[in-house]
Amino acid sequence: MAPDPVMLDRVNGLARKIRRSVLERSRAANVGHIGSSLSVVEILATLWGGLMREAGTHRPDRDRFVLCKGHAALALYAAMHHSGIMTAETLATYCADGTHLGVHPEACLEGIDVATGSLGQGLSVACGLAHGLRLRRSPARVFALLSDAECNEGQVWEAAQFAAHHGLSHLTAIIDLNGSQALGPTREVLNLSPMAARWEAFGWEAVEVDGHDTAGLAQVLAPRGVGKPRVVVARTVLGKGVRYMEGQVAWHYLSMTAAQFDEAISGLEAA
Amino acid sequence: MRNALVDQLRQLAREDDRIFLLTADLGWSVVESFAGEFPDRFLNVGVAEQNMAGIATGLAMVGYRPFIYSIANFAALRCFEQIRNGPVLHRLPVCVVGIGGGYAYGAAGPSHHALEDLGALRALPGMRVVAPADPAQTRTVVSAVLRQEDPVYLRVGKGGNAAVPGLDGRFAWNEPAIIREGTDILFLATGAMALESLAAAELLAARGLSASVGVMAHLPAESTPELVDVLRRHGTVLTAEEGTLTGGLSSLVGQAIAREGLACRLLCAGVTGRLAGPVGSRNHMLQRQGLDAASLASMAAARLNQAPAARAA
């Protein structure tokens, strides 16, 4: 079923705001991890822009979101801000002394259920949430956003086996397949290809999608029948939306100069 | 002790539908009764301890009280970081159950000797570390665990642990349970070393020396008034723990003595030396490490005879 055009408009608008906020806050704090925050902008916009039910509330049946790749927390903060869950004042404290908005998310923040930052651990927590919610007969869904290199971690595959064995069909993992990790391209560091086939071999339903196409994302992330857990392998570009960052491994860590920031914003406005 | 633990959990689970037992494929002939009675609140996650710690974190987030069960090193050390970033960081009431503490799996070899678990997990802020001495105290501890909200590391023995005379299942957070009163020395023991310490006190009595014995099942992060009070009443204390001396009972007691400026001399009995070496039964390993009753008594007598302790007023 084609996604609702009104919702898509909202999601696309949200994505533009998130991308701009990521650049602004990163520049203000002089903190990196820009590239991997920009690669997940459309994924977060699709989830937080209406697909997740009761996101950011305390209701027991709210959908849960686990940012397994915790280093993209800036994009999550921006998504929560532009979804009305976090104030501009709070967002403005990103990485300032005394803030709760660090590079990796803390669970004391309204709307964040799981603190992350150590790769490979989030999907297990998502499995526990999904299993517990199902036992409680909750209709809640659980979403876990992983980085591709995070799948180097053995614990990811422990969790993958568990989810498949227990048929956690209300659990959806999303892999941010930006092909880049801290010290180089994933294919050179530890080749993960073919990503979808690996998950299928572990008993998951795998679907590939352009990770910057919100219509495609909305379709594959929509609720569906019972059966297997689903993994959405989202092909993305590190640093998406900023021409000089796109696909450049260095932007995993770098922060922007004033001139680079101006160039990035000009590029967004011209797009 | 492990049978007492699971049996106590099973009884409490009849009234408390939050109790959830997870195992990483261990506990044959131990966990089946719980699994049979509460199939929805039991999971064998397979041989995957790190995942088990994460699943327990998620289950606790939706209101369950998970107990995660494995052999001590696998439960405590293999998923140390998952425990830290999950239950400890989120302050969730997950109970990590380490089976076979110390040399309970003596002949199984160094991979199964749990010697650093108490010290390592005691280093986690907000983690309650507890090593009960016998099956009855284990039952009391399980009930106490469910009456508070912190994550807990619960180190128990294997099977066949005898009752510690005089303990009668007593347990309270932060304080030693005194099971024998004496004047020359205090044996302070954690876990299954309580029985060895009590036997050592009897051996000393035959030599005309009078020993107290205290069971410090809970190893709090800092010294407590209850612990200091007991130390204040003795001129010499001998700590007995089935593990390395770093971060465990002796560290706790040494810290208490130093901080409070107590006139209490400290003897530390614990595991020293390298991990690799000959193995054998638990009793054999205790003897090798000087942790059996005779060795503890000799250690105490040597110090008392060398420079008799000033008796408490």
State pLDDT tens for residues B288-300: 999 999 999 999 9
Q: What is the pLDDT of residue B159?
A: 78
Q: How confident is the model at residue B308 (pLDDT cuts 50, 70, 90)?
A: very low
Average pLDDT over residues A137-158: 98
For B65, which residue in chain A has the nearest alpha carbon? A132
Q: How confident is the model at residue A2 (pLDDT cuts 50, 70, 90)?
A: confident
Q: Which CB contacts under 8 angstroms, 24+ apart, belong to A250-253?
A: A251/A32, A251/A34, A251/A35, A252/A32, A252/A33, A252/A35, A252/A36, A252/A180, A252/A181, A252/A182, A253/A32, A253/A33, A253/A182
CB B74 within 8 A of CB B49: yes
Q: What is the pLDDT of residue A50?
A: 86
For chain B, what percent of residues have pLDDT higher than 70?
A: 98
Q: Is the pLDDT of residue A188 over 50?
A: yes
Q: Are B90 and A107 in contact (CB < 8 Å)?
A: yes
Average pLDDT over residues B204-215: 97
CB atoms within 10 A of CB B16: 12
Average pLDDT over residues B94-103: 97
Q: Are A123 and B54 in contact (CB < 8 Å)?
A: yes
Q: How confident is the model at residue A1 (pLDDT cuts 50, 70, 90)?
A: low
Kindly report whether the peptide bond that precedes residue A194 is cis, defined as omega within 30 degrees of 0: yes
Average pLDDT over residues A212-241: 94
Residues 78-97 of B with CB under 8 A from A: 81-82, 85-86, 89-90
Query: pLDDT tens, B38-62?
Result: 999 999 999 999 999 999 999 999 9
B126 contact A CB<8A: no
We report the CATH number of the domain holding residue A129 as 3.40.50.970
Q: Are A159 and B82 in contact (CB < 8 Å)?
A: no
Cβ-Cβ contacts under 8 Å, A104 against chain B: none
* CA pair distance B299, B261, nearest whole angstrom: 24
Q: Is the pLDDT of residue B264 over 70?
A: yes
Q: Are B82 and A155 in contact (CB < 8 Å)?
A: yes
3-state helix, strand and coil shares in percent for chain A, rounded to the nearest 5:
45, 10, 40
| Domains, chain B | 2-155 (3.40.50.970), 177-306 (3.40.50.920)
Domain that holds residue A224: 5-270
CB A240 within 8 A of CB A41: yes
Mutate which of A104, A125, A161 to test chain B, going by most B C-beta atoms within 10 A?
Answer: A125
Q: What is the pLDDT of residue B310?
A: 45
What sections of chain B are H helices per DSSP?
2-13, 32-37, 49-61, 72, 80-83, 89-90, 117-122, 135-146, 193-206, 225-232, 249-260, 282-288, 293-306
Q: What is the pLDDT of residue B313?
A: 36
What sections of chain A are H helices per DSSP?
5-29, 34-38, 41-46, 73-82, 88-91, 122-135, 154-165, 186-189, 195-201, 214-221, 258-270
* ipTM field: 0.96
Q: Is the pLDDT of residue B4 over 60?
A: yes
Cβ-Cβ contacts under 8 Å, A135 against chain B: 40-41
| Token pair belonging to A65 | 């979101």
Q: What is the pLDDT of residue A54?
A: 94
Q: What is the pLDDT of residue B307?
A: 57
Place of tokens 């925050």: A37
Query: pLDDT tens, A74-102?
Result: 999 999 999 999 999 999 999 999 999 99
Indicate the number of domains in chain A.
Answer: 1
Distance (Å) from the alpha carbon of B121 to chain A's nearest alpha carbon: 19
Q: Are A117 and B62 in contact (CB < 8 Å)?
A: no
Q: What is the pLDDT of residue A224?
A: 82
Q: How confident is the model at residue B305 (pLDDT cuts 50, 70, 90)?
A: confident
- Say if strands A205-210 and A64-67 run parallel, antiparallel, or are unpaired: unpaired
Average pLDDT over residues B67-74: 98
Q: Are A128 and B50 in contact (CB < 8 Å)?
A: no
Q: What is the pLDDT of residue B309?
A: 46
- Say if strands B19-23 and B65-71 run parallel, antiparallel, or are unpaired: parallel
Q: Is the pLDDT of residue B72 over 80?
A: yes
- Mean pLDDT over all residues of chain B? 96
Q: Is the pLDDT of residue B125 over 90?
A: yes
Q: Is the pLDDT of residue B171 over 60?
A: yes
Distance (Å) from the alpha carbon of A126 to chain B's nearest alpha carbon: 6
B111 φ, ψ to 5°?
-60, -30
Task: Please name which of A144, A40, A24, A36 lies closest in space to residue A94, comparing C-alpha atoms.
Answer: A24
